[in-house]
Structure formats: structure tokens, C-alpha cells
Structure 1
Amino acid sequence: MLACAGAAVLVAAPSAHAATLNLTQYVNPFIGTDDSNSPNPVGGGAGGSTYPGATVPFGMVQFSPDTPTGSPSGYRFSDSTVEDFSLTHFDGAGCPNNEDLNLLPITGAVSASPGTSWTSYASGYTKANESAQPGYYRTRLDKYSTTVELTATTRTGMTRLTYPGTTSARLLINTSRMATGNRSGSIAINGSTVTGSVTGGGFCGSSNTFQVFFAIAFDRAPTGQGTWNGGTVSNGSGSTSGTSTGGFVTFDTTANPTVQFAVALSYVSVANAQQNLSTENSGFNFTGVRTQADTAWNTILNRIQVSGGASADLQKFYTALYHVFQSPNVANDVNGQYLGFDRAVHTASGMTVYQNYSGWDIYRSWAALVAFVAPDVMTDIVKTMVLDGQQGGLLPKWSHQNGENFIMTGDPGPVIVGSAYAFGVRNFDTAAALALMKKSASGGTTQGNAIRGRESGYESRHYVIEDPSDSLEYSASDFAIAQFARTQGDTATYNSLMTRAQWWINTWNPESAYVSRHNGDGTFTWPVDPASDAGYTEGNPAQYTWMVTYNFQGLVNLMGGRPTTVQRLNHHFTQVNGGLTTPFFYIGNEPEHGVPWAYNFAGAPAGTADAVHKVMSDGFNTAAGGLPGNDDLGATSAWYVWASMGLYPATPGADTLALHGPSFPSILVQRPTGNVTITASGSGPYVQGLSVNGSSTTHNFIRYPDLASGGTLAYTMGGSPSGWGTGTGDVPPSFNDGFTPPPTAPNLGTNLAQGKPTTASPPCAASESSDKAVDGSLAGNSKWCSLTASAFLQVDLGSTQNVSSFVVKHAGLGGETTGWNTGAYTIATSTDGTNFTTAVTKSGMRSSRTLDTIPTRSARYVRLTTTTPTNNGNNAARIYELEVYGGSGPTNVALNKAATADSQCNTNEGPAKAFNGSVSGGNSDKWCSGSANRFLQVDLGQTFSITSFTLRNAGAGGESSTWNTKDADIQVSTDGTNFTTVAQIRGNTANVTDVGLATPVTGRYVRLNVITPTGTTDAAARIYEFEVYA
């Protein structure tokens, strides 16, 4: 019998579907089986830690080779030796795991006891003889000239061995050795059947253990058998038990080199393992089982059909989807029995029970993806989690088989269930689920321990003092519970936990501008190194600062608004797999998975497109090291699938999907409630326009209800960023729901200093010149640095402007220690570049970003002087950005206004010529006077607050600069009779003379009294333009 019963249940086809495509051809099971390109990964996270062996979707069995330096999955592609083939493996976990029931075909005598010398039987192999496809693995053991082929059903594995012709073809069966050490096992050999048990567990140092029962059936009777116990080998023995035990069977392959066997597992009993075997795999038809495994994979992979991509892109996409559907794993036997979280045997009815949840990893996007693409599977997963909670006490966190391991941080179970509900999974006991969520949020326990080990301090202080990672995780779970409670009509819980969800703000250090740790007295630690992972769970301040997925708008406000947020994101994506000790993005670990879509919340979806494509290109490839870090039971692969589709569930626990445009021109998501079609016309990574179900929209997000019954997203793409998705109302919702939201960041307008000319004290290095402080970028160490005492940085705005505020971005925002933030500085302004007036004086400073607002004044030049360059004694001033803001520049209120003068040299050189806005009309396009009492006066028509003046002298009109006005007084009057001198020009030689006022003056009439008309003996005053700004 070849029924693959479990797989058939799991991958039932959607009600309406397109023709089934051959998608397993694109899957490469070797992707992720070796180290990635991360420079400093989390422990155990150097590579994807995937395995290449045979399994079916969500199968109980993962039949795969184990190698000597195997990553936590048991296998490393670069190893050249195989130690055994075992039945259980995790896809991408970060700790050594499983490898239960080690099997190894050999030839020759069993001399040294495998109980003490197992690795002496290991064999070399060559890559040319190794291959893998979904549901199938093959290699050749060179030491024994034996070919090994593996395939699987849901609860069984099957092997086809091709030995050389020999009377001593053997199979070693180790019942004590697994990835986490030696434990008790047993074996009983009875003709062509072998049964027994192994003791698994110990994942990530957990004390949780469990029994795995097995049954093996061979397609022929062995010619011999034996066992070992410790260092003793007993030929002919048929049974043994203990902590270093196992057995072997012998075959004569001189006439027939092929030996087949099937092996089944159960976590309940040997009898159930035997029933699993007889039900799923009793026919010894290896090719048939392999074909069924391929069919099972093709069926579920066809839930998403993409087309139009390059071969490598198809391979990456379908391999990612393949990894998504490997975990969790079927727990119940074919008779429905399973071992529950109360350690008792239960019988499932009308559902499949699952086990192994990498909660901290999969809650971020995996849960929503499986709910969206395979809601039938996700329904049973959620039902199982609720059963786990009812049996053990709480929804699982990071569970292994039927035990909670209590590893990682936070409380992910409620987020997984809440996300599944938000994406349409509703057929489960929602009342029981909510009760379990509330119990966890109040410090409840499961199997004797709390999921939230720091809940008490969290509730009393409104943050976790030991680790801000925990604070953010608890707040994320509180948010998900609140959203779920609202759907169930529990307003009290919603109100309470939405308030708690905003406690994330207590981790925000306004001085460092990062999520930061606290001291025991409640103050923040100082200084903050954005790249240090000390006191954080697999991350650092620069990375965890972005983990406010449900209130990104609040974070944008705290950062100072959209422009600063975008600058900081640009800096963060300097690298895309930066590891634990850089201030950059780290796709190889889950806390940052949603960060690319922060650009959407900041109204900059083009940034999301850039970041996503960079991560997909630089972080993923088709080689063995092609995953950027641990796959973590499908979490990283789920990210890639979402990213390829142009969607991402940026707010776990909510029903919103951030949008950025797909990587394929055509995508069909086949769902039982209605298919979703995604198309992209045009080339380029940037969305130019989007139509949802035929209606154009500028929203850069969509809600699941809009797609629940099917729908179409039709994108128009282009090679340049567009205005799509940038409006205030275009961004995804942020959920503060009126509970003390962070203050709204002021809209400062346009940065008047960006890209303008600068002068400064000498830089620390040629690459740290003053222009770097006005380039609009924090990325790439783009800063001005100077070791000069009282170093200054000056920017010329290009013309006189109204200036009202300054933003200075210090070392911390560039990813450097906040100890290097400027300690004291002044900002002064000038209209002429010579006479400066102090506008801002700061001392005792440590902030990474400072905003100083002043009464509006006129300025063309802005100078920052550092009086104390840092706050930790370092002598180098570091300014990443000096930004200047204000309204529109002052207006020339004298233009074309009524003018008078003492006289004029010629009839075509009257006073009106000095106020016509032109200097290019020839030598007569001026006012000229040769009398002794030379004055020029203009009536502005009304009273103005005057801030500056500009004289355009003879040289500006093309005449000799020696005729430029040398000495003059400027006077202002409100009545045209009583004038007050407000400025004096002395010794001028410039063609254009700018005269600024330290304090604006009020007046309607302005008079220029020319005292010395030229720098020569020529007595004629020549003014091409007299401009008055107000």
C-alpha cells in the first residue's frame, strides 16, 4: 500500500485552481546547508542550517544525512564525510537538535563497538554522487561502495540501498546517539522487523526529553543480526537497551545488491509506529513513494504560482516556499493518538495535531503567510496550540515535541494565533485562545514555568530593566492580544492591553535616540554603542530600535519626523546582513525582518523597494550558503516569499499588508476562499501606480479583508521613484488608538542647507570634509570631523533666508558611540558672512539629534562652533548633518515701487531704474547722480519689517568696479520725514553689497545717502539696483 495519508490531508487543493505546474523542479534542498555571508552571526546562525534529506510537507519524518561538523541541522554541505542518516531534523534551528535513530549502511565486520566508536564507521562521499529533490535524497558512501537513496511519507522514511556484492552488507541502527548526546534506547530484532525506542530532547540545553518509538521493516529477511551495549558487541543477539546501545542486521547481496526498508516513527508507542508503517508504507515500492512525495510537494507549492522570473529567482522562491512548508511537524499517529503537553496520550478527532514551534521566529511573518496561503493547515496549527495551552497551561513559546523549552524572549504564542485570526483563520476555540492569552499576559505558567519570566517587573516599571528586547516583545504580544480581544468583544482587555502596548516608549532614550537599557535607578545606561549586543537578545540598539511594528508612526515622530527617519533607514541599510555587532540591518535574524517596510510608514515606499531588492539580491542566492542566517523553521524563507510577492505583514497581530511591488510579472495565489492575482507591468523596482480590484489607489498598504474573497493587484512599475504611496494618508495604520501617542514631530519644511557650499576647520581626514555635513545623508560614515580646538562648520545658504530652526545630527545617528555626541556648541548667523550674531548656545549636551528653534531671523550664513566636541573627553568634533530650516526667503519689497532722488545724470538714468529688477539693460539701466547731495529713496507702499538690503553697484551692471559705491548710509522712516540710520557702508569695493540687520526694523520709506560715490575721483553715484528685503 502506497497511501501517503498524512500528506494528502495536509495539502488538499484549493476549491478553484489553475493547472498544476511542475514546481518541484525549481527546489534546491541544498540552499541553506552551509555558512552565509554574515560577518558576525548569532551563535549557531552562521548559515541557514537547513537539511537536504527527504520529507513531505509538515512531515513527522525528516530523513537526512548527518555530517561531522554539521550545522545545527546535522548536515553541512562542505563536509566530505557522512556519519549516519537519521529520521528527525529541524529546518534551520540555531541549536543542535534531533537526529533521532541513527542508521548507517556498511560492509564488513562490526568489530569496534558502535556504542563507543560510532564515528569510526563514517564514510567519505563525493559531491558528484550526491543529489536531492523534494522528497528524495541520494548519495554514495565511498568507504562501502554503497549507494543510499531516501524518500518519505508523513510518518515514515524509506531507504533503497545498493550494496556491492558481499555477504557482509550491514545496517547499523543506533538507538542512543543523537545531536544533543547519548541517551537511553532499546532495540528488538525479529526477523525482517526491528522495533524499539530512542530518547530525544535536550534542545538548546533544555531538560525536556521524550521517547521516539520506531518500527523498521525490510524487504527481505536478514542473514544475521547482532547488538551492542557500551563497548561490547554481541553477534547473534536480538535485543538490548541502555545509554550506548543499538543493533545491526546483515544481508547477502551477492545475488541481489538492493535492500529496501521502511521505518516509521511514533511519539506514543511501538504499536502505533507499526500501524503508521503498515498504513503509509507497506509495499516496498521506493519509486512509488518517491513519486507520491513529489506529488505532495507539487500540490502545496502550487498554492503560489509565479511566472516570468529568471531561473535563479524561481529557484530561490520555490526553495523558500518549500522550507516554509516543512514545519511544524505532524505529531499524531494515523489512529489520531498523540502525546500532549500534559504528558498524557490524547486522540485527535477531525484534525491534524502539530508540534515544534519556533515561536519567537515565526510570529513575525510565517504565521500570516501560512494563514494566507494554506488556511486549512493553519487552522489545525492554531487548534493544536490551543490544545497545548489547555493541557500545559499557556500557548507554546518555543516547543519541542510535547514540551516547552522556554528559550528566546517574549510571548509569541498570542501573536501567532492573533495573526492567523487576522488573516482569516477563524475555525478554532477563540474563547479558549483568548483566556490563554490573558493568562500569559498576567504572568501565568505552562508546565510549571512562566512564558513571560519578567512580567512582574514589566508590570511594575512598565519596562523590563534587564533587557529592552523583552520589553518590546511583551508590548508586541500585548498589542496582538488587545487586537484579538477586540474581535471577541472584550473591550476591557482591549483597553488595558492597548495601553500596555504603548509601554514600548519607555525603552526609547531621547538622548541617544535609540531603544536603550536602563540602570537599576531607572536612568538609561550611557554611553550607548548602537552596535553593541550587550544586554540585548540577538541584536543591538540600532537593530531593536525599529521593532515597534504596531506604532511605527510613533517611532517616526520620536525620531524627528519623516526626513530624519528616512535618513536613519538609509544608514541602517548600509549593510543588509550586518550581524550582531554592526549598527546595520541584519536579515539573518528575525527582529529586523519587518524593517524594510518602515519606509512605507515614513511615506517613502521607494526606500522599501530599494531595501527589499538589495536584501533579496545580497542576502539570498542559490548556493549552499544561500540563506543569510538560520531559516528558523521557515521564518527567513517566509520573509523571502512575502518579499517576492510585493507584500509584507508589517504589523504582526493586525490584518495589514505593506506593499512594495512584486518581483515577478505574474503571481497567482490559490486560496480556498478566492484566488489573488498580482501582476506587474513595466520594468523597474518602483511602483508608479496600483489598481486594487480595478480601482486605482495610492495607499502603500492593503488589508486582508480586501483580499479575503479573492482579488487583483495590478501594478505599474518603473525605473525611478514616483509619488505613489508618499501622501500623509497613504501609509499603513499605526496603532496607538488614542492612548497617549508620542508627540507629533514638527514639520520643519525644506532643509535650506542641504547641498550648499561650506567652509570649516580642517577635517580629521580627507573623506570627512565639511560638505559631508550638508549632503542629506547619515550613511557611509558621511560626516564632518575636525580635531581643531573650537572647530567651526559654516554653510552659505546662497541667499538671505528667513531662518527659524536648526537640526544637528551628531555621532550617535551615524552609528557611533553616543559618547562622541557634541558636548557644547554655538550656532551663529550672518547676512554678510562677516558679522555674526549668536542664535543658539548649548552646553552639557549628549543628544544624538538636537533641534533648536529661534525667533525668525534673516540669514545667509550659518556657523556652528563646537566648544566641547564630545561628552566623553574625545577631542574630535563630529557632525553628521547641519540642517537649517525656515520659511520662504525675504522678499524684495522695493521692486517696482515709487522712487525719488536728489537728481539724475541723464534723463534715462532716473531713480526708477534702481528698482526695476534689472542690471542687464546696458549702462543706462541705473540711477546716476553727480550732485553733492546724492540720495535715492523708495516708498514701499506700506510698513514692513525690514531685515536686509542689497546694493548692486557699477560693476554689477558691467561698468568699472572702481565706480562701485564706496561709502553710504541707509536710513528708514515710517512717515517719509523722520529718518533713522540703520546701516552704514564703509570702504566697499564689491560689485554687490549685502547689508543685513541683526534686528529687523520697521519702516515704509528707505533712503540711501551716498557719501563717497566711487573709489576714484569720479563724483557720480551709480546704483543699478537697490533691494530692500522684508
Structure 2
Amino acid sequence: MTVRQMITVVLAAVLAGASGTPAVAAASTPTVKHRPTAKQRPAPKHRTQVDDPAQYVNPFVGTEQGAVDYGNGGGAGNTFPGASAPMGMVQWSPDTVTYQHGGYLYSDQRIRGFSLTHISGAGCGDYGNIPFLPILGDTPVGHETFSHDHESAAPGSYAVTFDNGLRTELATTQRSGIARFSYPAGQTASLTVDAGRAFNKASGSVTIGTDSISGYTDGGGFCGSNNRYRIYFTAVFDHPFIRSGIVRGGRLDTTRRTASGESAGIAPQPPRTAAAQAKAAGHRGPGQVLHPDAPDTGSGAQALVSFDTRDSRTVTARVGISFTSAEGARANLDAEQSGRPDLDQVKDATRGRWNELLGRIAVAGGTGKQTRTFYTALYHSFLHPSVLSDVDGHYPGFDGKVHRTDSGKVQYADFSGWDVYRSEMQLVALLAPKEASDIAQSLLNQGTQAGYFDRWTVANGGTGVMVGDPVPMIAATIHAFGATDFDAAGLLRQALAGRQDDRERPGHAVYDSQGYLSVGTAGEWGTVSSTLEYTSADFALAQLAGSLGDTADHDALLRRSAGWRNLFNINSDYLQPRDADHGWPDFKPTQQDEYVEGDAAQYTWMVPFNHRGLFDAMGGNQAVVPRLDSFLEQLNAGPGAPHAYLGNEPSLNTPWTYDYAGRPDRTADVVRRVVTTLFGDTPDGEVGNDDLGEMSSWAVWGSIGLYPQVPGRAELVLASPLFPQITITRGTGASIDISAPGASAEVRYVHGLRVNGAASTRPWVGPALITDGGTMEYELAATPDPSWGTDPGDAPPSFDVGPAQPVTGVLTGLVGKCLDVDGGKADDGTAIQLWGCNGGNGQRWTLASDGTVRALGRCLDAKDSGTADGTAIQLWDCNGTGAQQWWARPDGSLYSPPAGRCLDVPHSRTDDGTRLQLWDCNGTAAQHWTMSH
């Protein structure tokens, strides 16, 4: 059997067990014990419903410090409490004088305005455009004071009464807002609107009519980048103006009706690009005061208007915005507030939209605090991404041109890619597959217009913030979760092109040639982190390619995903920085150099698609479990610590990794501790910035006891449910009913599980639960079960690069001679040579599931991890490194992915004892190998 034939047989075997869809080879192929069909599945014993889940949401969660600020965006959630529809374009919220990312600091009871746009939970500042501030008198003021006793917030609405008696109520639709300002009797009722002010440097223009204010604002500068956007707005009042003008230098000029102006930004902009890191010269954290006070002065594009409120002390304002045009802003307002509903009607309608969405996960049986924490986290998970397109489908593209969506589609914006690819987009795809499909198409539209996929985008521009290549992961995962109504093939093509684009993948040439990013790679500020991000992206892209029937790209990308092995140092058991010459610089596990917002101890676990391979390289489960125990003794230790940093993203997958090491009881314990101690229902209820819903989405997954560990896949690994009853409704007709009698903060350990009526000892469930729905019935206790889920065959699948079932035989090359271990010796460093076939064990090779080629209990190895032409090939103890990775390609060659070269007989010699080498792949007979049994 030739290598080509062998590969065909292996792949056919894999595909046969994958229900007709392409699959990757798994180190431990999952065995499906029994899965009833939809018709066979028992009816759920319960179907949980929650009336008005919005009542449990506290939008103030995340607005106060919840933990130490470690310099990666703050120790608060950086959320905002204002009014927003799900994924709203308008997010109308109060901004305090003391700035915090998100615009609102709970401990500051001074409001300087209600701006129309916000970002929830970012570690940098942007938006905060066009603040409105109602005031008393005809002299502009910088802020008004209030008490939290006179403030309230709920999904879709916000209200506050200032200490001077002036009350503001806000509500929103998707692209518009409505405000009701109630002025005290006997006072001059006024309002300012500033078109030239935002959290960052901004400029704008304002025009005053008889009962309207309109204009635009230009903003940007997220994390100090060069992104720019323009927002058009129109505000229409139910009272004509009795006095109006432009504020300049603190004074009102009533002769002017239009003005332009600009303002300096106040938001700290920590270095989160490679260029910014270089300028920071090693200093970590923001270079500005973390919470500066905003100046009281306006921008010069600030309008002040006054109303006659003698007959009616309440003034209503209706506001529409558009990122496309002034006409779009007015059209959005007219369409979404058709019939001129009052504020209470708008508020109730948007609350209804939130209730429909929040109700797609109905929980019952938890404490009040647990329920409030859960629904607040679910609410925060759906504030972003934000609608960008107008009601008629027009939106500004990344190419500076105006585009239009297909009928019925929505273009979304604001993607914190580095964050949300981990679990937030999976939650969106689970609960809102239609919107998730539009999100994936939006990402493709962005990439097509820009020519590449940017990592972190705001409005219609990229910022280059953070590292990796997350957008393809997001789209691949959305597709895996069954949200497929987008051009997946087009996205794959764009992603493959982007792999060769420095804007999308800085250092791609180094990564592709070496299999890792070496220290000093230009354009990178965390070579280990970026390598791991790229390998995860390549794995996810491989899954998308496989699902689309693209076998060649699937196989090539899958091999690239094994590049993490090139950074695994067998002498330290860490993934650590490596030089271009394959040497290892000085190293310590708590170093942050070459890591992004974390250290080596935290990033070494970040191989989510192949924990089995990583754990075997570390010495097996017996070595991994105590190491995980030590690592997770502290849950939020910050960067530079030998423990977890669960206030930030790189550690998020780690609590779930016990499932792969035969200790699901430890996953259940740690996940429960995280959910109940790092998240809460009060303003200080988050310990790190929420990152547009990522951290909140983790809390949601942790509370239901399921987690999407692997990018590009839809398997879910298990902890245990926090709530005794949970019903998940996807919006496609499929639902997941989970029962866990007695579940609580303490009752967390699984003693039994039935999936669709069949007993299961696996701490994971397959993709069918997502696509088809089903039932899960838990038996829980307050003490661990020493046997449930511990069998190695029950572990969640890890996806490696070799055949699922190892293939053993003789490898023959030139003139029928064999690949041979010199003298049949199993010593490290023994030469691999060409030799006449003799049937000895030194010529019996196994293509293993981890991508190695083995004989005599050891592995085929490139000497000194060399990648150059002429590198000698030897036998060496199997160590899980890239130097032992071989790809049996359909052309009959054995290819070394990190070297980009092939196993070669020097000069095509056929003499016995000719030592083999690496050489440029050339398709000759000297590089052709045939396996036979």
C-alpha cells in the first residue's frame, strides 16, 4: 500500500465515523455509545420558562472596580448602565465626570452628559459621541450631580433625577432613542448638545433649527490607533426653542445657528499594538491617569437650547443616528419611531425584545443573587456587536464607500476579535443563529472591503489592536454551531489570502517557514502568544475547510495548527519563546516578555484543540493534574503570576482542561468557584473588563455547565449546572432541556448523567446537542464521584494531525530499500538510514495519531530541531515537539511542517547506510516512500 493509498484508507475511516461530514483525526477518537434520533428522544420532563427575565438584569454591574487593576484594561467590567436594544446602534448612557472605559464610574455621582454611543467593557476608550445634557438656566454647565437613590436602569431604559430636581428618562430602539426631560416648575428649561465631543479626540458640526438639532461627529483613536468614523444625528423635540445658540468659551452666542468645533480626548489609551508596545519601551499598562476627570468646557460645536415649559414641564426628544448619512439618521428615526410612540411605549417594546432574547435561556431554582448575576451576564453578552447598517441596508464600508446589505440582512460592527472568539460568539450563535449568520457575513464584508481581516474593529475601520487572527475563528465557529446563512466559501478564500498579509498576520512569513514566530519577529509584541493564536486560527479554518469539502486546505491548515509543538521545551514543560536558530533564551514561567497580557504559566495551557497532545508532552495526566491544581489555587492572580488570571482572556479555557485529564470533578469545582466568586450582581460584580461581552459570556456558559472549548467546533465540555432547571431555546425550533435536581453553589459534582435518555460517563457532548437539541439529566452531589468521567476513553476529543487509528508497516524508498534505524538500536541520536529490508523491528514504523513516525518506542526526529537543507534525521525519545512532526502527503513524501522540507535520501544514493536528511521537497524518487504491512 502506498502512502497515498494509506492516507485514503485512513481518511475514509475517519469520514465514515463522522456522519457524512469531514472530520479531523483525533488523538482519542470519541466513541458514541448511544444517541437517540430526534423521534426517539424522550420528551423533556420539564420546560423551564421565566416571566420578564429583564427584571433580573442589573446594568450597573461592571461599573465599579471589582478587583485589582493589573494594567490590562482595569479591574472593573467597564460596562455602561444606559439604554440599548440588543446589539443596538444607539446606546444612550450617562457619562460621569471621572472617566472609566465605558463612560461611567459608579463611585462618581456627577454626570457630564448622556452620549449616544458606547462600547461595553473594552480596555480602551472610544465612542461617547454627542453628549446631551439637560440643565436649568441659560448658562452652560459642565455637569450635574445626582444620587444613586434617584437612579434606575433596566434593559432598554435608564432614568435619573439630578439633585436640582431635573429628571431624565431614556429609552432606545435599534437605531434611535427617545428622551423625556422633566424640568422643575419655575425654572428655565435648557439643554446642551455637543457634536464635537467624545471620549477620544473628536470634531463635529451642529445645526440648530426651530425644534431640531442635527449634525455629525468625527471620532476614533481606539487604543491610540488611527481608526476614524463619522456619525450623523438628528434630534427632534416636541417643544419649539424659545432661545438657542452656540456655546463658545463658556458663553452663549444666540446669533449663531451652526458651528464646527473639536475637543481633546480624555480616555487613556494603553499600548495594544506592536507599534505602541515598542513606543512604550517595556512599560506595561496605560501611560495616562487611569480615571481622569473630563473638562467642563464644550467643543465649540455645542448647541444650547431653551424651552417654554410653563404649560408642560416635560420635553420629549427623539433622536436618530446613522454612520452613513444625514438622510439615513432621519430615516432611521422615522422608521423606528413611526407613529410617534411615547417613551413608555418605546421602553416597553424594547424590554419585550430583551425578554424574548434573554428568555432563550430560562433558569429556575437558583438564589436571587445567582439569577440576577446570570441574566445580567446574558444581557451584557448581547450588547455587541452593534448594528451598523441603516433601516434601508446602507452602511459605510472599510473601503470608504457606501454599501448596501442584501434584503433582510444586517451589517454589524464593533468586534473585539481577540476576546470574543473564545465563547461570546458561540453564545450568540447558540441563541440567535440568524443574527450570528449576519455577523459572519458582516465579517466577510469587512475583510473583502479592507482586503484583510482586522483583529479589532470599531464602526467601519480596523485598529490593529491585540494579536492573532481571530476573525476566521469567529466565522468558522459560527458555521460549526449551525448558523450557516452566509458565504462561508468566500470567507474561507479571504481568510486563506489573509494568512499571507502582514496586516492580518504580522510575521506570517516567519510563522509559515519555521512553524512558529521567533523572538524578534518584526511587527509582533508577543511571539509565543501570537504563535498560539495563529495555530488556533489555522485549526478553526481547517474545520471550516473540511466542512466545505476542501480537503487539501483542511489538511495543510491542520498541519500548521501543530506549530505549538515548536515552542514546547521538553526541559521546562512550558511553551516558551524561541530564537530563530531554534535556541531557547533565558526563561522563567512568570515572564511576560513575548506574551500578551499574561505570562508563560498562563499561556502554556492555550492549546484548546489538542489538550491530549499537550498533556502527553507534559508527562501525561499524572503530571498535569497536580500542575493544574497549583495553577488554579488562585483564580485571578494577574499577569506575571504562576496562577490563573481569569479576569482576562488567556486563562479562560484552563478550568475546563481537567475534563481532558480524567478529572471532571475538578472542572466542576473550579468553574463553580469562578462563577460564584468572580461574578456578582452588584456594580463591582466583575473583576476585569468585560470585552464586549466575552467575560459575561463565560459566566453564562459556566452557569449552565457547558463550554465551547475548541474554536471551529461545536462540541461542548462539561462542568455542572448551577441551576436545577435550565431550558435553552435556539430560535430554530431546537431546544436543550437540562435538569440537575439539588444543584447549588455547593452541590456541584456529577455522579450520573443521561443524555437524551441514555446513560453517559463522558464529560462532553457532541455537536448534535447544538444542532438538534436534546435533554441532559444530571445526578449531582456535594462530594466528588471518584469514577464518573475518569476513563481515558470518555475524555473530550483532542484533534491531532495523524491518522485516528495508527498505521504500522514498513516504509520503502529507492530501489525497494527500507527506512531503517541504524543497527536496530533504540538509543537517542541513532542515525536513520536507507538499508536493505530485513524484517527487523528497526524497520517497522508506525504513523501515530499525534503526527509522529515511530519505531522501537521512539520517534523520527530532526537533529537539534534543525530545519535547513541537510539536517540529519535521527531516532529520539518522543517529546511532543515540532521536530518530530511528519505529514504523510498524498504525493508519497514525508513532510516536516516546521521545516517546510521533506525526508530525503541524499543525492538519491542507494547504498546501505546512507543517512537520511531534510531537503527541499522536489517530487523525486528520493523523497517517495511507500508503506506496506
- TM-score category by the smaller chain? 0.7 to 0.9
Match of 1:539 in 2: 598
* Paired letter, 1:55: S
Residue 331 (structure 2) aligned to one of 275, 279, 289: 275
What is the CA distance between 1:701 and its match in structure 2? 0.7
Match of 2:258 in 1: 239
Is 1:110 the counterpart of 2:139? The answer is yes
Match of 2:207 in 1: 188
Q: Distance in 2 between matches of 1:620 and 1:655?
A: 26
Match of 2:381 in 1: 324
Q: Distance in 2 between matches of 1:60 and 1:100?
A: 12
Q: Is the 8 A contact 2:239 2:308 kept in 1?
A: no
1:140-164 deviations in Å (ceiling 9; x for gaps): 222x431111111111111111112
Distance 1:483 1:284, change over 3 A: closer
What is the CA distance between 1:40 and its match in structure 2? 4.8
1:65-85 deviations in Å (ceiling 9; x for gaps): 111223210101111211111
What is the CA distance between 1:19 and its match in structure 2? 5.9
* DSSP 3-state at the match of 1:128: strand
* DSSP 3-state at the match of 1:199: strand
Q: Is the 8 A contact 1:188 1:238 kept in 2?
A: yes
Distance 1:18 1:582, change over 3 A: closer
What is the CA distance between 1:20 and its match in structure 2? 6.2
* Paired letter, 1:162: S
Is 1:606 the counterpart of 2:665? The answer is yes
Q: Is the 8 A contact 2:739 2:777 kept in 1?
A: yes
Match of 1:124 in 2: 145
What is the CA distance between 1:254 and its match in structure 2? 3.4
Residue 734 (structure 1) aligned to one of 772, 791, 798: 798
Matches within 5 A, 1:724-763: 724-738=788-802
* DSSP 3-state at the match of 1:527: coil
What is the CA distance between 1:178 and its match in structure 2? 0.6
Match of 1:719 in 2: 782
Q: Is the 8 A contact 1:199 1:210 kept in 2?
A: yes
Match of 2:235 in 1: 216
Residue 25 (structure 1) aligned to one of 55, 74, 78: 55
Match of 1:259 in 2: 315
What is the CA distance between 1:536 and its match in structure 2? 1.2
Matches within 5 A, 1:283-298: 283=340, 285-298=342-355
What is the CA distance between 1:681 and its match in structure 2? 2.7
Match of 1:875 in 2: none
What is the CA distance between 1:700 and its match in structure 2? 0.9
What is the CA distance between 1:230 and its match in structure 2? 5.7
What is the CA distance between 1:138 and its match in structure 2? 1.2
Q: Is the 8 A contact 2:562 2:801 kept in 1?
A: no
What is the CA distance between 1:102 and its match in structure 2? 1.1
* Higher RCO structure, 1 or 2 (CA under 8 Å, sep 6+): 2
* Paired letter, 2:697: A
* DSSP 3-state at the match of 2:161: strand
Q: Distance in 2 between matches of 1:489 and 1:571?
A: 43
Match of 1:407 in 2: 465
Residue 458 (structure 1) aligned to one of 501, 511, 519: 511
Q: Is the 8 A contact 1:42 1:579 kept in 2?
A: no
Match of 2:837 in 1: none
Q: Distance in 2 between matches of 1:739 and 1:254?
A: 81
What is the CA distance between 1:232 and its match in structure 2? 6.1
What is the CA distance between 1:533 and its match in structure 2? 1.9
1:937-983 deviations in Å (ceiling 9; x for gaps): xxxxxxxxxxxxxxxxxxxxxxxxxxxxxxxxxxxxxxxxxxxxxxx
* DSSP 3-state at the match of 2:71: coil
Distance 1:434 1:173, change over 3 A: same
* DSSP 3-state at the match of 1:198: strand
Match of 1:476 in 2: 536
Match of 1:305 in 2: 362
Match of 1:75 in 2: 104
Distance 1:166 1:281, change over 3 A: farther
Residue 689 (structure 1) aligned to one of 712, 735, 752: 752
Residue 377 (structure 1) aligned to one of 435, 444, 459: 435
Q: Distance in 1 between matches of 2:721 and 2:554?
A: 35
Q: Distance in 1 between matches of 2:251 and 2:304?
A: 13
Is 1:197 the counterpart of 2:227? The answer is no
Q: Distance in 2 between matches of 1:303 and 1:674?
A: 11
Q: Distance in 2 between matches of 1:694 and 1:145?
A: 60
Q: Distance in 1 between matches of 2:189 and 2:206?
A: 20
Match of 2:895 in 1: none
Q: Distance in 2 between matches of 1:590 and 1:163?
A: 45
* Paired letter, 1:274: R
What is the CA distance between 1:167 and its match in structure 2? 5.4
1:228-262 deviations in Å (ceiling 9; x for gaps): 35666411421112323221111122342211101
Q: Which runs of 5+ in 2 are unaligned?
A: 1-45, 263-298, 520-526, 807-878, 880-933
Q: Distance in 1 between matches of 2:532 and 2:612?
A: 16
Q: Distance in 1 between matches of 2:114 and 2:585?
A: 50
What is the CA distance between 1:266 and its match in structure 2? 0.2
1:24-51 deviations in Å (ceiling 9; x for gaps): 11000011111122x3523322210000
What is the CA distance between 1:469 and its match in structure 2? 0.3
* DSSP 3-state at the match of 1:223: strand
Distance 1:582 1:740, change over 3 A: farther
* DSSP 3-state at the match of 1:632: coil
What is the CA distance between 1:139 and its match in structure 2? 1.2
* DSSP 3-state at the match of 2:740: strand
Q: Which moved more, 1:542-551 or 1:459-468?
A: 459-468
1:614-639 deviations in Å (ceiling 9; x for gaps): 11122111121101211101100110
Is 1:340 the counterpart of 2:403? The answer is no
1:775-821 deviations in Å (ceiling 9; x for gaps): xxxxxxxxxxxxxxxxxxxxxxxxxxxxxxxxxxxxxxxxxxxxxxx
Q: Distance in 1 between matches of 2:583 and 2:540?
A: 29
Q: Which runs of 5+ in 1 are unaligned?
A: 1-15, 112-119, 743-846, 848-1030
Match of 2:572 in 1: 512
Q: Distance in 2 between matches of 1:740 and 1:403?
A: 43
What is the CA distance between 1:574 and its match in structure 2? 1.1
Return the TM-score normalized by structure 1: 0.67
Q: Is the 8 A contact 1:44 1:71 kept in 2?
A: no
Q: Is the 8 A contact 1:82 1:123 kept in 2?
A: yes
Q: Distance in 2 between matches of 1:572 and 1:308?
A: 32
What is the CA distance between 1:531 and its match in structure 2? 2.3
* Paired letter, 1:24: A
The structure whose Rg is larger is 1
Matches within 5 A, 1:721-870: 721-722=784-785, 723-738=787-802
What is the CA distance between 1:554 and its match in structure 2? 1.0
Match of 1:586 in 2: 645
Task: Supply the RMSD in Å over aligned alpha carbons.
Answer: 1.9
* Paired letter, 1:212: I
Q: Is the 8 A contact 2:468 2:530 kept in 1?
A: yes
Q: Distance in 2 between matches of 1:476 and 1:405?
A: 21
Q: Is the 8 A contact 1:167 1:252 kept in 2?
A: no
Q: Indicate the structure with greater strand content.
A: 1
* Paired letter, 1:41: Y
* DSSP 3-state at the match of 1:78: coil
* Paired letter, 2:324: V
Residue 417 (structure 1) aligned to one of 475, 487, 494: 475
What is the CA distance between 1:535 and its match in structure 2? 2.5
What is the CA distance between 1:461 and its match in structure 2? 2.0
What is the CA distance between 1:658 and its match in structure 2? 0.2
What is the total number of aligned residue pairs between the two structures?
711
Q: Distance in 2 between matches of 1:17 and 1:255?
A: 52
Q: Distance in 1 between matches of 2:504 and 2:249?
A: 39
Q: Is the 8 A contact 2:492 2:544 kept in 1?
A: yes
Distance 1:284 1:616, change over 3 A: same
Residue 595 (structure 1) aligned to one of 651, 654, 660: 654
* Paired letter, 1:608: T
Match of 2:451 in 1: 393
Q: Is the 8 A contact 1:84 1:102 kept in 2?
A: yes
* Paired letter, 1:676: I
What is the CA distance between 1:506 and its match in structure 2? 1.4
